[in-house]
Structure 1
Amino acid sequence: MRISTSMMFERSQNAMQSRQSDLSKVGEQVASGKRIVSPSDDPRAASQALIVKQDQAVQEQYKDSRITATNTLSLQENTLNSVSDLLVSAKGLIVKGGNGTYTDSDRASVATELEGLYNQMLGLANTRDSNGQYMFAGSQGDVKPFETADNGLVEPYAGDARPLNVQVDASRSMDVNAAGSNVFRVPATKAGDDESDLFKVFETAIATLRTPQTAENQDELRATLDQANRKIDSGSDNVLSVRSGIGSKLNELDVLSDIGDTRTISNKVALSDLEDLDYAEAISRYTLGQIGLEASQKMFMQTQQTSLFSLIR
């Protein structure tokens, strides 16, 4: 095969450009700290890295959902803890109001204290979360669950009991809302008292304490207060049950968060193995590339000077 001067020039030029391209690519890798600057560098590793990044993005979404769920449930748990303390105080007042030595004035004073607790409980039942949504309205966060009628009594629950589910992991959807109709419910007692709600129990107890006591009605009034105490106990047990359920969910979220953190670390390690650059190896290649480029440049210069005219003396 006859090799012309132009062919030698072209080959030398191509070799020099190839060396420059290789050196430039290594420079990009060193600058970015990544072995894969473009998918063509390692198509298989680039494909695997994309899968890991997609999973990492999904894990971040689950992490955000768990944080939201934890904040919501923690606020519910704290609020219900206040409700439990309030019910303990209410029971003590009702017992005190049933003291046979109390005058009507004494009992009215107790009723006023109990009414204060009643209003506090109403405020807790209408608590809003950080987003301004009513916490105990079920799935209708923009609806005030417990309104007060013109006569001062609490109207029936205005929310709903539909669950509000949050996807906190790939295989776990968690209900993070609470229906006030369940939270403030008073289950039927073993003594045969019908199911009710805490607001009605308070209202009955307050009205009873404000009723003047006579020889004819004192037994009836005492029986009504005894019934109110039983219902307070039943309502307290129900609130405790709801709090227990919330506590279980919070514990589960802690476990899921630990699992999610472990998976995030695994993904970061996998990405590092796939993408991160071995600087020592890259610098070695860069040095060899510089030597190769210098050699190809010298060869190109020599090729330029090679012609028949250079042989004529």
Structure 2
Amino acid sequence: MRVTQSMLSTNMLRNLTTSYTKMGKLNDQLTTGKKVNRPSDDPVVAMRGLAYRMQTDKVEQYQRNIGEVNNWLDSTDDALDKVGEALKRARELVGSAANGTMTEEDRDKVKAELSQLREQIQDIANTKVGDKYLFSGTKTGTPLYKDGAYPQLSTDAENPASGPTAFESDVNIDVFDGVKLNVNSTSAKMFKDIDDMFESFVGSDADFNKGLTDVDNQMDALLTERASVGARMNRVELMDNRLEAQEGIAKKQQSLNEDIDYEKVITEMISQESVHRAALSVGARIIQPSLVDFLR
């Protein structure tokens, strides 16, 4: 086959273009620190990168959900702690009123303070996190204590229901794939029982001796509820640690898939520059002056 000057020139220009393309790709990698800057660079790496990014974004969303869970549980525990303080004071007052030496006037003063404690606990029953009521079950937009009364519950002996009402239902938040955590305290019955107990103290036939046992029973119910909240807080901490580990794994895999080895790429860049300079030098020798150049 006859090799012409035109063929030599065309091949040289094509090789130079290929060399420029390689150097351009290496320069993009050094500038961005990524192996792939467009899907066409390496479709497999690009697809894996999308999968790792989706995993990382999912973990970050779950971590935000964990923050919401902590907000609910911390607020619930604080509210229940305030209920406990009110019940402790109520026990002191009931114990004083149970003393047979107390005058009727003094008992009226005790009842007045017990009424204030009752109102305090009613306010706590309507504690909110943001715009959501903590103790209203799935009816987060409705206060538990409303219009001077608590709602009818499935546990009410006078009004039994086929199943839990919305005020007794769990609020769950996703914290991992297929994992939900109960964030609310279904304490509607407890608040209602406490309110009924306080109501029994303000009547003229109040039995303060029995009241001591009633307060102790309500404090036991409160401690049980707080223990449940504490157990869930411990689980949230474990789940948070798990998410941190998952985030680290996902980001590590993403880095291994996408990030360049700077030393390796710099070495390739230097080698490609040497090849390119050699190609330019050889090309200068290939493109010899033509007869037309001598005739000028």
Structure 1 length-normalised TM: 0.84
CA contact (8 A) 2:144 2:150 kept: no
Shift of 1:40: 3.5
Equivalent residue for 1:288, pick from 244, 249, 271 = 271
Residue 19, structure 1, aligned to residue 26, structure 2: no
Cα deviation 1:294-313 (Å, max 9, x = unaligned) = 22233333333354556889
- Are positions 1:175 and 2:207 aligned together? no
- Cα gap change, 1:122/1:157 in structure 2, threshold over 3 Å: closer, same or farther? farther
TM-score by length of 2: 0.88
Structure 2 residue aligned with 1:239: 222
Q: Which runs of 5+ in 1 are unaligned?
A: 186-196, 212-219
Identify the range of structure 1 (17-26 vs 264-273) with the bigger mean alpha-carbon deviation. Answer: 264-273
In structure 2, what is the equivalent of residue 216 of structure 1?
none
Partner of residue 79, structure 1: 79
**What is the rounded CA distance, in whole Å, between the counterparts of 2:266 and 2:67 in structure 1?**
43
Assess if the C-alpha contact under 8 Å between 2:135 and 2:185 holds in 1. yes
Equivalent positions of 1:80-119 (< 5 A) are 80-119=80-119
Match in the other structure for 2:158:
none
Which residue of the other structure, out of 281, 284, 289, is the alignment partner of 1:298?
281
Alignment partner, residue 49 of structure 1: 49
Shift of 1:12: 0.5
For 1:231, give the aligned amino acid.
D
Letter in 2 for 1:136: F
Please give the per-residue CA displacement for 1:147-197, whole angstroms capped at 9, x wherever unaligned. Answer: 243xxxx34359622222111111311121233423425xxxxxxxxxxx1
For residues 195-234 of structure 1, the aligned pairs below 5 Å read: 197-207=193-203, 211=204, 221=206, 224-234=207-217
Give, in whole Å, the separation in 2 of the partners of 1:142 and 1:157.
Answer: 17
- Structure 2 distance, partners of 1:15, 1:117, is 89
The letter for the 1-side match of 2:186 is A
Deviation for aligned residue 1:254: 0.6
Does the C-alpha gap of structure 1 residues 93 and 104 become closer, same or farther in structure 2, counting only changes over 3 Å? same
1:277 counterpart = 2:284 = no
Cα deviation, 1:61-97, whole Å, max 9, x if unaligned, reads 1111111111111110111011112111101101111
Contact 1:145 1:157 in 2 (8 A): no
In structure 2, C-alpha distance between the alignment counterparts of 1:62 and 1:155, rounded to whole Å: 34
Structure 2 gap segments, 5+ residues each? 154-165
Percent identity over the alignment is 24
- Return the letter of the residue paired with 1:242: E
C-alpha RMSD over aligned residues: 2.1
Deviations 1:259-278 (CA, angstroms, capped at 9, x unpaired): 11111111222122221111
- Per the TM alignment, residue 42 of structure 1 is displaced from its structure 2 partner at its CA by 3.4
Higher mean Cα deviation, 154-163 or 14-23? 154-163
Name the SS of the counterpart of 1:305 in structure 2.
Answer: coil
Aligned length: 284
- Distance, in Å, in 2 between the alignment partners of 1:83 and 1:231 is 15
Q: What are the residue-to-residue correspondences of 1:230-269 with 2, within 5 Å?
A: 230-269=213-252
When structure 1 is superposed on structure 2, of 32-41 and 10-19 the one drifting more is: 32-41
Alpha-carbon distance change, 4 to 63 in structure 1, aligned in 2, over 3 angstroms: same
Q: Distance in 2 between matches of 1:5 and 1:59?
A: 62
> Aligned partner of 2:135: which letter?
F
Partner of 1:302, secondary structure, is helix
In 2, are the aligned partners of 1:62 and 1:168 still within 8 Å (CA)?
A: yes
